[in-house]
Structure 1
Amino acid sequence: MLEDLEFREATLEDLPEITALFRDTIRNVNSKDYSEKQVEAWASGADKTKKWEKRIKSLYFLVAELDNQIVGFSYLKDGNYLDGLFVHKDFQGKTIASKLLRIMESRVSMNGFERIKSDVSITALPFFDSHFYEVEKKQKVSVRDVILENYIVYKDL
């Protein structure tokens, strides 16, 4: 099944599927670590269409596709900052995130950086820990006037 997984750069036509995946993943996966109020504030970021369009147009933004369905995506900002890594709720634990992460780490190295950084959720921390990321610090961030905890993590490449 996953041998048919393909990676490609995102296009604006992918926007509805990307934002739906973003929203659904937060609501279904991250809800185990965040309150309903936090989840809804965070998931509402899917509605910021212009911001998503800008990301797709200007960042290194990849989608993972299986049978013409986007099952994951990831994007880099500033050459070495992993700004997003999401996998469809029905495809968690199937190595899609690991493959996307490996591609992003390679891209960071190709961009001439020796370190990759990211802000990761409580939910994602064990995944990043299993990929040898170190916690720089725990932080509180405000999303639509709701406070969420997450972590700044990094890995030397």
Structure 2
Amino acid sequence: MLLSGKKKEALRLRPYREEDAETLAQLFYDTVHTVNAADYTKEQLDVWAPKERDLHAWNQSFLKHRTLVAERDGRIAGFGDMDETGYLDRLYVHKEFQRQGIAAAICDALEGESEAEEFETHASITARPFFEARGYEMIRAQKVERQGILLTNYVMRKRRQ
């Protein structure tokens, strides 16, 4: 049996473009509904990442923040965005590109480009270990309500090194 010897392309980070909005919305939906499914109920996943997103609102939010898109093998593999205060709003990696260092690369770039002295995020149950490994400390657990459904996440902070 002959196996393909195709080597993975290097990861490329680039700035967000408006035409990315729809692809990022689908990546967000797919990632939440697969990667986070072990830690949240279907009902919680549905209110966190509904099938339909307001692409105009997402686009405006991405444009207000420093938003990076990760590409590998000609595909969008992940994205993340941070505002000027150092708040990491979104960080999602495509379900087929998990555990390849993509989230870390996006965080490294966003944190490195930020002028903030402290970074904060609201991490999911699933993402909490990732952020702890990056030096973020849990400040508190919280329950966020979406359409009457409660979701647990964690306010986490890290001081610039």
Q: Which of the five TM-score ranges fits, normalised by the shorter chain?
A: over 0.9
Assess if the C-alpha contact under 8 Å between 1:7 and 1:64 holds in 2.
Answer: yes
For normalisation by structure 2, the TM-score amounts to 0.90
Instruction: Tell me the equivalent position of 1:153.
Output: 156
Which has more helix, going by share of residues? Answer: 1
1:145 deviates by: 2.2
Task: Give unpaired runs (5+ residues) of structure 2.
Answer: 1-6
For normalisation by structure 1, the TM-score amounts to 0.93
1:8-30 CA-to-partner distances (Å, cap 9, x unmatched) read 11111111110010000000000
Task: Give unpaired runs (5+ residues) of structure 1.
Answer: none
> Which of these residues, 67, 70, 80, is aligned with residue 64 of structure 1?
70
1:54-103 CA-to-partner distances (Å, cap 9, x unmatched) read 12222111100113211000001233100010000011111001111111
Instruction: Tell me the equivalent position of 1:40.
Output: 46
Structure 1 distance, partners of 2:149, 2:57, is: 20
Q: Alignment length, in residue pairs? A: 154
Assess if the C-alpha contact under 8 Å between 1:8 and 1:62 holds in 2.
Answer: yes
Structure 2 distance, partners of 1:42, 1:122, is: 13
Instruction: Tell me the equivalent position of 2:131.
Output: 128
Q: Secondary structure of the residue that 2:50 maps to in structure 1? A: helix
1:34 deviates by: 0.3
Tell me the amino acid that sits aligned with residue 85 of structure 1.
L
> Which of these residues, 40, 50, 60, is aligned with residue 54 of structure 1?
60
Larger radius of gyration: 2
Runs of 4+ in 1 over 3 A off after TM superposition: none
Tell me the amino acid that sits aligned with residue 10 of structure 1.
Y
Structure 1 distance, partners of 2:13, 2:112, is: 14
Structure 2 distance, partners of 1:76, 1:2, is: 28
Instruction: Tell me the equivalent position of 2:11.
Output: 5
